[in-house]
Structure 1
Amino acid sequence: MRSPLRSTAAAVAAAAIGIGVPALAVPVAHAEEVAAPDLVISTLPTASPKPGEIYDHPVTVTNKGTAPAAHVTFRIRLTRGLDFPDQAKGCTYSTLADHVRQALCELDTVVEPGASITTSVRFKALPQALMEAVEYGTGRTGETPGEGFGDSYRRLALTADSTADLAAEGDLVEGAPGSRVTVTATLRNNGPGWIRNEESDDQPALMVRIPEGTVAKAVPEDCEPFGVDGPTGPSEPGHARYVCLPADHTIDVDQSLDYTFVLEIGKTARNTKGRVTAGSVYGIHPAFDKNPANDTAYLAVDVTGGEDPGTSTAGGTTTGGSGTGGGDPHGQSTGGSGTTGTTGTTGTSGTSGTSGSTDTSGGTSGTTGTSGPAVTGSTTSGSGTATGGTLASTGSDGMPLLAAGAVGATALGGLVLAAVRRRSTGR
């Protein structure tokens, strides 16, 4: 088995193989100073390995101190998208928290003041590799390194030549005006790379716009209100827009993060929907995501049992030309007791609009249609029922990621604590 650890015990041997040649004059300790080794590690070159590729580069350990380093413990740590391709003699391998892989290697050599030894850092990129980091080195005197970084223990950040696909998933529910419903927005990582950005605070996140006409009454703890260009504070109900992100900033391959909101439907609400967008905590599309087609989904609320958007409750009957206000989104006419057709324009060849009295909603008698087919609208006790009134969007258009089927309306007696849960399926 090939060992990644190579050292020189003598200057002659080092010169013969071209490594470990002392390049520094031997420091001299002053009488009042305590002699001690002071080890320094050279830096590794950065790289963007493709999944499956092996990274193998030497580093040099130099003793800049005034005493020999009689024993050197060299440590390598790899984030979860990297692994050791083989196990070298003299090294102990383990897996730490957060899937960090570690090799702890004992270099059986003495590093004299001014001398250097060379060892290798060797790892491979796994299929899920993306944003990775490598820690390598030793303590200042050759002991097991601590958790900080410095001249003897370094960190290399690298980005694998790969991608990850963040996707948004929405929801569809029904509810009556004044009731409360629960909707779930989902952020999913379709891979192939796992996601955690340790080099920036612009972490992966899900932007959630609350459907218009509803109010968020319970919000997941991992969802913060979003202001002009970023989060504005701790989680709390009542805002129109939220940004949701995992507490540990990590989304593994094939993992879904669900964020459940409790919404109260307004008493005058119509069918409505809010937008859900996968991206970053600042609303930026990540460079590693090459598939923006699935970034957007919707939270749709179908309002049931309320007043039809094209219906009013008073008026007589009008037959003939349309009123002048046929484009009103609620299907009401400003020009007559009869309401308009779908186009809201003046009809042609119609009969005169007929009205017994001014309707209670404030309209006056309909205008006379000319040169076109008649449009018929019925009214009751004042304002008309628009047979061609336009309903608000149900959310079925442009919503490829909505949950299939409608969820029954939920009327809750009090606030329900919304939760976030992770779901993961193995590839």
Structure 2
Amino acid sequence: MRKRISLLAACGLVAVGLATTPAHAADPAFPVSGPTALPLPVPPATGSPREESLVFTLDVPRTGAGFGGEAVLTVDLTKVAGIATVREDAHGAKEKCTVAATALVCTVRGTLPRVELLVAAAKNAKNGDTGEITVTGKTDGATVTPTTTKLTVGGPDLVMREMALKRDPRPGESQPLPLVFTNAGTHSARGVVLELETTRGMSLVEAYDNCRTRTVADITTALCSVDGDFEPGETYELAGDSPLHVKANQSAYSDRLGYGIHPAGDQPKAAQWDGKTATGKRLGVAKRAAKAAASARAVDLNPGDNRRTFDFAVRNTADFTTAAVSLEGDSGDTLTTAFTFENKGPAWIRGARAGDSAARTVIVMPDGVRVVRKPDGCTATTATGGERAEQLGAPRYVCALGDTVRENQRAVYPFDLKVEKTLVNAKGSVTVGDWGATAPRPHAFDPNPANNTAVLVVNAQDDGTGPRPTPRPSTSAGTPSPGASATPTASASATAAGVKGTGTGSGTTAHGSGNLASTGVTAGPIALGAAALIAAGGALYVAVRRRGPART
């Protein structure tokens, strides 16, 4: 009996073990991705049809199990026979595909397995002919989900005409947009979407219910959907009852307008658009009375000619400024201060090319002072502006802004400076402006280059040549909390939490004793960064920390 019970118990345990063993997970599915449709230019009467690029990609995980690193994709060409020619585009590398009857069999590998093809309408194909390319696949450890691309010979080709606009309007001036486009294709476009894109200094005057807008950074985009059939060979313009105007804002200077036309469904996509504008008006377009003359160029069904841009040079100014800095400290003291850049406007400034710095601040250190902390946005150089590997202790620093500077933008660059010897009236400089060979030069748009340079002085003497300490404000301030930022900030002020102060003066003053400059606030032996700076009346108050002996 005991043996029988033991045997039954063992069988029960086995049964439990079998019941708790997880089922084998289903193989992962890797989809083949590609366009759902591809229009092909109608073959010309003479010469070869133009080829279009067609790419199919096997969407595999970049990491993890499931993909063995190789797959076979089969491109079925059965349904495009007599309609299109298809060949591999190997870009001069080893071909991945072999021809097998009415298919291409392609072996793909790597983290981005793909097949690149060149497709053209067959020589005898007719406008309106259609066909399909289907791609299937196999790989170890996974299933492959196929995809199909529909080919159509011919299609709409919307071409936006260039507008002749006034390049140098004044701030506040508006001008009409004479938008005109042509369908140079062989099929009608069923609905179109007008795209308008303006940079920060320009804006559209009118609003319509069939338009949506969104603003990202300094660019506002409007998409206006217009229903109807837009026939091949016809030219269209804005309807007389729905004009569009673009206006130069008070901050305009070097701005851009982008404008384009797209078949409905092909317009740029965005995750979120602003709410609908309820005006009771809709933007419309009308066919021009006279039919457009036949174009001499071949039909290209090319989305590259759907869009154009226009660059404005608005007659405006932007006043770039900096502030003087006055420090006090004994040998061995470490002073925490900051240097500033400010655009007092009225214009915002955009770099000539994306990625170009719109302005820079150059700081020349006085003799006897060593930089022991700097922000990431500032780069050390030699005294003549050459490259320097060691970033601390340099005689000169260049702080570059991004490729745009907004009106009223302010940047603060915090530094720690160690006084290495006893100094009297030791002077450096702070200069803002455009890129120059050795020093910033004033921008052409800056109406007041005199305020582009300010003095940096340590232990100033009252000889009238340096900034005076800022007078003590009439109200006392609380004690700021410690904290430091190593990156420049763009804000209207740099006021520490719990610290308030007002005053007059031409620059920034700090004392090696650890007092917040001219505010009556004792900061103590703590590091105070950009968050502990107080902007007041154009002067920048700076707290310091002291590690050296007390001054006698």
Task: Tell me which interval the TM-score lies in, with the shorter structure as reference length.
Answer: 0.5 to 0.7
Aligned-residue offset at 1:86: 2.0
User: What is the CA deviation profile of residues 216-258 of structure 1, one whole-angstrom value per residue up to 9, with x for unaligned ones?
Assistant: 1111111122458868479932211111123x43332222211
Equivalent in 65, 85, 103 of residue 222 of structure 2:
103
Asked whether the equivalents of residues 273 and 299 of structure 1 are also in contact (C-alpha less than 8 Å), the reply is yes
Q: Which residue of 1 aligns with 2:363?
A: 208
Equivalent in 322, 330, 336 of residue 168 of structure 1:
322
Write the distance in 2 (CA, Å) between the matches of 1:79 and 1:49. 15
| Structure in which a larger fraction of residues adopt strand | 2
Q: Which residue of 2 aligns with 1:124?
A: 247
Q: Which residue of 1 aligns with 2:473?
A: none
Give the aligned residue type for 1:240: P
Q: Which residue of 2 aligns with 1:255?
A: 409
Asked whether the equivalents of residues 337 and 510 of structure 2 are also in contact (C-alpha less than 8 Å), the reply is no
SS in structure 2 at match of 1:293 = helix
1:48 equivalenced with 2:165 (yes/no): no
Write the distance in 1 (CA, Å) between the matches of 2:506 and 2:184. 63
**Equivalenced residues, count:** 307
Write the distance in 2 (CA, Å) between the matches of 1:123 and 1:235. 50
- The 5 A counterparts of 1:158-197 are 158-197=312-351
TM-score of the pair, normalised by structure 1: 0.62
Query: Cα 1:234–1:85, aligned 2, differ >3 Å: closer, same or farther?
Result: farther
User: What is the CA deviation profile of residues 355-399 of structure 1, one whole-angstrom value per residue up to 9, with x for unaligned ones?
Assistant: xxxxxxxxxxxxxxxxxxxxxxxxxxxxxxxxxxxxx86685165
1:59 equivalenced with 2:179 (yes/no): yes
Aligned-residue offset at 1:263: 0.7
Give the aligned residue type for 1:36: G
Q: Which residue of 1 aligns with 2:191?
A: 71
Query: Cα 1:228–1:261, aligned 2, differ >3 Å: closer, same or farther?
Result: closer
Asked whether the equivalents of residues 190 and 263 of structure 2 are also in contact (C-alpha less than 8 Å), the reply is no
SS in structure 2 at match of 1:183 = strand
Write the distance in 2 (CA, Å) between the matches of 1:192 and 1:398. 29
Q: Which residue of 1 aligns with 2:458?
A: 301
Aligned-residue offset at 1:60: 2.1
Query: Cα 1:285–1:226, aligned 2, differ >3 Å: closer, same or farther?
Result: farther
1:113 equivalenced with 2:113 (yes/no): no
Asked whether the equivalents of residues 300 and 394 of structure 1 are also in contact (C-alpha less than 8 Å), the reply is no
User: What is the CA deviation profile of residues 297-331 of structure 1, one whole-angstrom value per residue up to 9, with x for unaligned ones?
Assistant: 122111xxxxxxxxxxxxxxxxxxxxxxxxxxxxx
Q: Which residue of 2 aligns with 1:278?
A: 432
Q: Which residue of 1 aligns with 2:259?
A: 136
Aligned-residue offset at 1:28: 4.8
Give the aligned residue type for 2:257: V
Equivalent in 358, 372, 397 of residue 465 of structure 2:
397
What RMSD over aligned residues (CA atoms) do the two structures have, in Å? 3.6
Aligned-residue offset at 1:162: 0.6
Q: Which residue of 2 aligns with 1:145?
A: 268
TM-score of the pair, normalised by structure 2: 0.49
Asked whether the equivalents of residues 321 and 342 of structure 2 are also in contact (C-alpha less than 8 Å), the reply is yes
- Which moves more between the two structures, 118-127 or 180-189? 118-127
SS in structure 2 at match of 1:108 = strand
Point out where structure 1 has 5 or more consecutive residues left out of the alignment: 1-26, 303-391
Query: Cα 1:115–1:81, aligned 2, differ >3 Å: closer, same or farther?
Result: same
Query: Cα 1:257–1:133, aligned 2, differ >3 Å: closer, same or farther?
Result: same
SS in structure 1 at match of 2:348 = coil
Write the distance in 2 (CA, Å) between the matches of 1:178 and 1:186. 25
Asked whether the equivalents of residues 338 and 530 of structure 2 are also in contact (C-alpha less than 8 Å), the reply is no
Give the aligned residue type for 2:328: E
SS in structure 2 at match of 1:139 = strand
Asked whether the equivalents of residues 191 and 263 of structure 2 are also in contact (C-alpha less than 8 Å), the reply is no
Write the distance in 2 (CA, Å) between the matches of 1:54 and 1:118. 19
Query: Cα 1:166–1:77, aligned 2, differ >3 Å: closer, same or farther?
Result: same
Q: Which residue of 2 aligns with 1:291?
A: 448
Aligned-residue offset at 1:75: 1.1
User: What is the CA deviation profile of residues 110-138 of structure 1, one whole-angstrom value per residue up to 9, with x for unaligned ones?
Assistant: 22222221246521111111221112113
Q: Which residue of 2 aligns with 1:245?
A: 400
- Percent of aligned positions that are identical: 31
Query: Cα 1:399–1:280, aligned 2, differ >3 Å: closer, same or farther?
Result: farther
Write the distance in 1 (CA, Å) between the matches of 2:333 and 2:448. 37
Asked whether the equivalents of residues 194 and 251 of structure 1 are also in contact (C-alpha less than 8 Å), the reply is yes
Asked whether the equivalents of residues 198 and 257 of structure 2 are also in contact (C-alpha less than 8 Å), the reply is yes
Write the distance in 1 (CA, Å) between the matches of 2:156 and 2:420. 73
Asked whether the equivalents of residues 205 and 246 of structure 2 are also in contact (C-alpha less than 8 Å), the reply is yes
Asked whether the equivalents of residues 185 and 299 of structure 1 are also in contact (C-alpha less than 8 Å), the reply is no
Write the distance in 2 (CA, Å) between the matches of 1:233 and 1:95. 43
SS in structure 2 at match of 1:294 = helix
Write the distance in 1 (CA, Å) between the matches of 2:348 and 2:247. 16
User: What is the CA deviation profile of residues 163-216 of structure 1, one whole-angstrom value per residue up to 9, with x for unaligned ones?
Assistant: 100011121111111211122111111111122224372521211111221111
SS in structure 2 at match of 1:211 = coil
Give the aligned residue type for 1:131: S
Asked whether the equivalents of residues 145 and 153 of structure 1 are also in contact (C-alpha less than 8 Å), the reply is no
Asked whether the equivalents of residues 193 and 264 of structure 2 are also in contact (C-alpha less than 8 Å), the reply is no
Give the aligned residue type for 1:219: K
- The 5 A counterparts of 1:29-40 are 32=84, 33=121, 34=152, 35-40=154-159
Q: Which residue of 2 aligns with 1:306?
A: none
Query: Cα 1:204–1:112, aligned 2, differ >3 Å: closer, same or farther?
Result: same
User: What is the CA deviation profile of residues 138-174 of structure 1, one whole-angstrom value per residue up to 9, with x for unaligned ones?
Assistant: 3377721369x94212222212111100011121111
Write the distance in 1 (CA, Å) between the matches of 2:534 and 2:184. 51
Write the distance in 2 (CA, Å) between the matches of 1:293 and 1:97. 35
SS in structure 1 at match of 2:349 = coil
- Which moves more between the two structures, 291-300 or 273-282? 273-282
SS in structure 1 at match of 2:221 = strand
